[in-house]
Amino acid sequence: MRIIVDGFGGDNAPGEILLGCARAMEELGIDISVAGDKDKLLKSARELGLEGSFNRMEVLHCTDVLTMEDEPDSVLKAKSGSSMAVGLRALCEGGGDAFASAGNSGALAVGATMIVKRIKGVKRIAFAPVLPTTKTPFIISDGGANVQCRPEMLLQFGLMGSVYMEKVMGVKNPRVGLVNLGTEEHKGDDLRKEAHALLKGCGGMNFIGNIEPRDLPYGMCDVAVADGFTGNTVLKLYEGTALAMMGMVKDIFKKSLKNKLAAGLIYGDLQGLKKTMDYNSYGGAPLIGAAKPVFKMHGNTKAYAVQSALKLVRDCTESGYVEAIGAALGK
């Protein structure tokens, strides 16, 4: 399997990207194509002692870099020669099996839609990030690609998310919930009410009704359906709360010698909790609905997260989730 990686996407590119790619090649036995300025990539690889691994990577040379400040449509216009755009075109032309970037989220969504295209019948591509719970992980669909949505789009987000959870995560008959401000069927604005009716009437998924954001950490659903604005707000609050809570726990154990000794006794459990709550462990989020596997890595991603993301990319691509979504929508 060959995965195309945006070598200049994210806050820590290209060094951390290259380091994560090198580790993933060794661990997973995958081939890597990296898009970016060849001279700058080689310089970074040499500084990190990765020249041997770098020589095994295919370089898709380009000099433009798409920043977080660029407008989303820059990937099609002003920055059409950027590492993100070049990587997406290579995927579209059969140069690899999947594409991953830690770059501009809006530009990636536009590029996936306009360059890679959508699965036939898909109205909008959705981000589907994985989040931890006290039980098993769940995904938000949509986690930020579409700020304004129509009810039928939320229906598709639920259906695509359900297929993804079954094919990739191995969840049988995934529970699909609509994120709302109350569990009662009549709650919410017109978008939520109309989407609820469509989801309830769809025989292709296990819709369990409305779900409040406060219930998400308890594993009440496997797919949380939301418009991109709501989904991204939940995602960012989730990440921030997890970081704050871990910081508070750390401060408690540092308060006294007694507390430090207690921390030592449960060190393994604390490390397990940290890994569960750390978004770096989950790596990235697929853009479900794209005609080929496209993945968004966190903008602040470092080598470990890149390595985790590429494992997710490999597993997802091998699962055939893209074809499964197409089949589900074609019924």
Tell me what percent of the residues of the chain surpass a pLDDT of 70. 96
Do 148 and 115 fall into the same domain?
no
Alpha helices in 12-142 (DSSP H): 15-28, 38-47, 51-55, 83-92, 105-111
For residue 331, tell me if it sits in a domain.
no
Strands of the sheet containing 138-141, edge to edge, are 130-131, 138-141, 223-225, 175-179, 206-211
Question: For residue 79, what pLDDT band results from cuts at 50, 70 and 90?
Answer: confident
Contact 107, 145 (CB under 8 A): no
For residue 259, CA distances in Å to 13, 120, 247, 254 come to 39, 57, 15, 7
Do 266 and 153 fall into the same domain?
yes
What is the tally of structural domains in the chain?
A: 2
Inform me whether the pLDDT recorded for 123 exceeds 90: yes
Cis peptide bond prior to 14, omega within 30° of 0: yes
pLDDT of 175 reads 98
Mean pLDDT value across residues 195-224 = 95
Contact 164, 321 (CB under 8 A): yes
Inform me whether the pLDDT recorded for 281 exceeds 70: no
pLDDT of 272 reads 73
pLDDT of 278 reads 66
Inform me whether the pLDDT recorded for 60 exceeds 70: yes
Inform me whether the pLDDT recorded for 207 exceeds 90: yes
Hey, what are 298's tokens? 């966190």
pLDDT tens digits, 39-58: 999 999 999 999 999 999 99
Mean pLDDT value across residues 248-274 = 79
Inform me whether the pLDDT recorded for 293 exceeds 80: yes
Amino acid at 32: I
Mean pLDDT (the chain) is 92
What domain range includes position 213? Answer: 124-280
Do 258 and 309 fall into the same domain?
no
Contact 112, 207 (CB under 8 A): no
Question: For residue 276, what pLDDT band results from cuts at 50, 70 and 90?
Answer: low
Do 276 and 128 fall into the same domain?
yes
Do 91 and 52 fall into the same domain?
yes
Mean pLDDT value across residues 222-250 = 90
Mean pLDDT value across residues 107-130 = 95
For residue 326, tell me if it sits in a domain.
no
Mean pLDDT value across residues 128-154 = 94
For residue 75, tell me if it sits in a domain.
yes
pLDDT of 214 reads 94
pLDDT of 257 reads 83
Looking up residue 264, the CATH number of its domain turns out to be: 3.40.718.10
Tell me what percent of the residues of the chain surpass a pLDDT of 90. 75
For residue 49, tell me if it sits in a domain.
yes
Do 7 and 24 fall into the same domain?
yes
For residue 328, tell me if it sits in a domain.
no
Do 45 and 176 fall into the same domain?
no
Q: Which helix (H) or strand (E) holds 208?
A: strand 206-211
pLDDT of 246 reads 80
Lowest mean pLDDT among 204-218, 221-235, 258-272: 258-272
Mean pLDDT value across residues 308-328 = 94
For residue 221, CA distances in Å to 109, 144, 146, 207 come to 25, 19, 21, 9
